[in-house]
Amino acid sequence: MTTRQITLIACTAAVVASALGAAAPADHRTAPRTLRIHRVQPGESIQQAVDAARPGDTIVLSPGTYHESVRITVPDLTLRGSVAGPAVIVPDPAAAGNACATAGNGICVTGTQSSPVKDVTLRSLTIRGFTKNGLWASWTDRLKVQNVTSEKNGQWGIAQERSVRAVFSHNTAEDNGDAGLFVANTVDREDGAQDSKGVVIDHNRLVGNRVGVTVRRLRNLTVEHNEATGNCVGMFVVGDEGTPRAGAMTLKRNLVNANNKLCPKTPRLPYLQGSGIVLTGTETTLVTKNRVEDNVGDSPLSGGIVLFKSFVGASNENNEIRDNVVLRNGTADLADRDPGKKNTFSGNTCGVSEPAGMC
């Protein structure tokens, strides 16, 4: 990189004077910490800036288009766009030698089981047109993804596995091949559900994907204040027969409307269309105060809020569906198509239920 500027910002702790005005002893002073801001221009390498960064640094991308994939393994690093305009990351057809690019991903944040990468922040970026995923994260702790647009990627827009305590907030995921936003225990084997330790998915806009949000084999997370529209399925909570079971989560105050895109069947699922919120193989999950409207189709999973037996045979149990507005959905506003036990429906505003009598 030839023109990248590095701005040094010295952050020195204040020295507290004594009551008599004398300086504090030198051995009581806090050592200065240098925080660096790396500024990258279009045509320069984001990856070079990442490789040169230390924990605590910030990389700021000037407005423009960047043709590359970026792998982040440095903890406590912020990668963000400029307030002056959008920074767009797109594939480089000539990219080689970068594991993230080889996998077909735009940005990869990757740690290891013994050393998860912690406190990475991605903010105010657009990631577009990658053959696999826009953002892929694995073995992370406290990842923050905010105001990121991930669109027209082949599989997932924003995706995470084997990670805890993440926050996905105020993002847009649009026209991705599978889920706009995908969080899971792991994607390469069939494990029991993982404790996400409080993952939060809030205030995201999910449009035109196969599924707006997929939560797969996880526990202890919140999905709230999101908008899912124009997908085949708005929100899909996936569990199975593993131990521990998926669940112990809350879906609340989401707007899930007109998810009527038609998606063909796959080896795992039937064709999808007109599904608002779907739970399969899940326990002790609260679905409350959502607006689920105008999701219409005749797939086995179609309907407003649908409980369906997992495709590997696991039932939903002890879930609570209450105080939602669920209207004009087909084939039903509320559909319990699962022989599971102790699932309750109460206080919902709806017109048609399956079986009858839940509205």
Supply φ then ψ for residue 49, to 5 degrees: -65, -40
269: nearest Cα among 228, 295, 318, 302: 302
Neighbours of 21 (CB within 10 A): 6
Would you say 320 and 287 are in contact if contact means Cβ atoms under 8 Å apart? yes
Contact residues for 107 (Cβ-Cβ < 8 A; gap 6+): 69, 70, 71, 72, 79, 89, 100, 122, 125, 127, 134, 135, 136
Residues 6+ apart with CB under 8 A from 91: 67, 69, 101, 106, 129, 130, 131
One pLDDT digit (tens) per residue for the chain, 359 residues: 444 444 433 333 333 333 334 444 444 455 566 779 999 999 999 999 999 999 999 999 999 999 999 999 999 999 999 999 999 999 998 776 689 999 999 999 999 999 999 999 999 999 999 999 999 999 999 999 999 999 999 999 999 999 999 999 999 999 999 999 999 999 887 778 999 999 999 999 999 999 999 999 999 999 999 999 999 999 999 987 678 889 999 999 999 999 999 999 988 889 999 999 999 999 999 999 999 999 999 999 999 999 998 777 788 999 999 999 999 999 999 999 998 889 999 999 999 999 999 99
Going from the C-alpha of 268 to that of each of 66, 162, 264, 312, the distances in angstroms are 36, 22, 11, 9
Per 3-state DSSP, what percentage of the chain is helix, strand, and coil (rounded to 5)? 5, 45, 50
Could you tell me the pTM of the whole model? 0.90
Total count of residues recorded for the chain: 359
